[in-house]
Amino acid sequence: MLTNLAQQPADALLALIKLHNADPRADKIDLGVGVYRTDTGATPVFAAIKAAEAKLLETQDSKAYLGPEGDMGFVHALMPYVFGAANPTMDGRIDGMQTPGGTGGVRLAVALAKKAGVQRIWMGTPSWPNHAQIFADLGLELKTFNHATKAGVVDMDALRAALAEAGPQDAVLLHGCCHNPTGIDYSHADWDEIAALIAARGVLPVLDLAYQGLGKGMEEDAYGVRRVLAAVPEALIAYSCDKNFGMYRDRVGAVYAMVADPAQLNAVLSNGHALARAAWSMPPDHGAAAVRLILEDAAMTKLWLDELDVMRARMNKVRAKLAEAGSAGAIDLKPLGGQNGLFSILPLTSEQILKLRTDHGIYMAGSGRINVAGLTMGNIDKFIADLATVSA
């Protein structure tokens, strides 16, 4: 029976990691892997996480199961940051559950949408590659529209046209901030219009908030999610702590549902619990418990937010340096200064990307997506010069 399974292509990013690791050049640059790096190239454990883990080691008295909903203290501690401190439950209309990372949050959100009757989902492209894979695996029809124009701004005309075609049995997936892979985000005015369009069409919003705090700040990066939620009766929100707490390998995420009537919330969550039970049974506890301990302690919360500020400032410094260069050969670098988060896409051909890798030791995804945190003040001039060489 197992002989019926065909060989699947290797994951392109994992293959890129292997190629980079095997490259002996001392000045090689890794712009492919989507993790934050310091100016020395390290991806350290947050000091706040270290403090929380030490406390967890001292105080945790059991490893017994928590249930498919996971650590609800963690789920609820996040809510003021996501939905606003004034009324994080929207008068009892919002609650959630823990998931294995943001990927688990997206998958569970979309599985809930399908179980509720959604037949197709709209998504701007390019997007995080796993989005489309999740939709296909769940058997949903995917409809796409352009996320951004060639000028490097959001394509609101394409989004308007997509939502005009969408109907009440459709969902639309939107990145809350720090768009992956383009770094091109909606403005506040764009979000105001998007919220009104979604409400008018009766489309179910699925909001993926994977990089809160890495764009303009915790409050600023939540604007789009909060604006949509204020306009619609129902929504699903996937959240990741893997990036803004540096918990990549611990897989820390959540999914939230907002309902029109608080009396319906338990029924929605019960379906989420059943879907989770059949998929991963129960989420891993350690990372979520550490995040909960940070958010329950004012001193540790401040330490975490300060560390997040440092991360954001470093990436903004890299972006400013690229924008200041103006161009590299035929590549216009100025738009990168106005983009957000870890990622941007450079308009490079596959031949140019290969030449950067083979001739210059610069590794990036085949789409031209770069992780700007892979650039440092020590290697950015080399990157700009090498980019100019292949794109002249």
pLDDT tens digits, 212-262: 999 999 999 999 999 999 999 999 999 999 999 999 999 999 999 999 999
Q: What type of residue is 290?
A: A
- For residue 363, the SS3 value is strand
- In the chain the domains, ranked by start, together with CATH numbers, are 10-45+312-391 (3.90.1150.10), 65-296 (3.40.640.10)
114 part of the active site: no
- Token readout for 208 is 């993926």
Q: Once rounded to an integer, what is the mean pLDDT over residues 19-25?
A: 91
- Phi, psi at residue 179, to the nearest 5°? -50, 130
Q: Which of 7-21, 140-154, 161-175, 306-320 is least confident?
A: 7-21
pLDDT tens string 303-332:
999 999 999 999 999 999 999 999 999 999
Q: What is the pLDDT of residues 157-183, one digit of tens each?
A: 999 999 999 989 999 999 999 999 999
Indicate the pLDDT class of residue 151, thresholds 50, 70 and 90.
confident
280 catalytically annotated: no
Task: Label residue 17 by pLDDT band (50, 70, 90).
Answer: confident
* pLDDT for the residue numbered 162: 97
Which candidate in 71, 243, 250, 285 is catalytic? 243
Q: Which of 365, 364, 362 is nearest to 384 (CA)?
A: 362
pTM: predicted TM-score of the whole model, two decimal places: 0.94
Decide: 388 and 329 in contact? Cβ < 8 Å: yes
pLDDT at 379 over 90: yes
Which of 30, 114, 128, 185 is labelled catalytic?
128
Computed over every residue of the chain, the mean pLDDT equals 96
How far, in Å, CA of 343 to CA of 335, rounded? 12
The identity of residue 392, as a single letter, is: A
Distance CA 392, CA 387 (A): 8
**pLDDT of the residue at 140:** 97
Q: Is the pLDDT of residue 152 over 90?
A: no
Given a cut of 90, is residue 150 above it in pLDDT?
A: no
Q: For position 33, what pLDDT does the model report?
A: 86
| Active-site entry in 208, 221, 242, 285 | 208
Does the pLDDT at position 298 exceed 90? yes
- 96 touches 256 (CB < 8 A): yes
Q: Residue 15 — pLDDT band, cuts 50, 70, 90? A: confident
Residue 13 — very low, low, confident or very high, per pLDDT cuts 50/70/90? Answer: confident
317 is catalytic: no
Query: What percent of the chain stands above pLDDT 70?
Result: 100
Which pLDDT does position 3 carry in this prediction? 93
Measured in degrees and rounded to the nearest 5, phi and psi for residue 217 equal: 145, 165
| Matching residue, tokens 């439950």 | 89
Region of residue 208 (phi > 0: left; psi between -120 and 50: alpha; otherwise: beta): beta
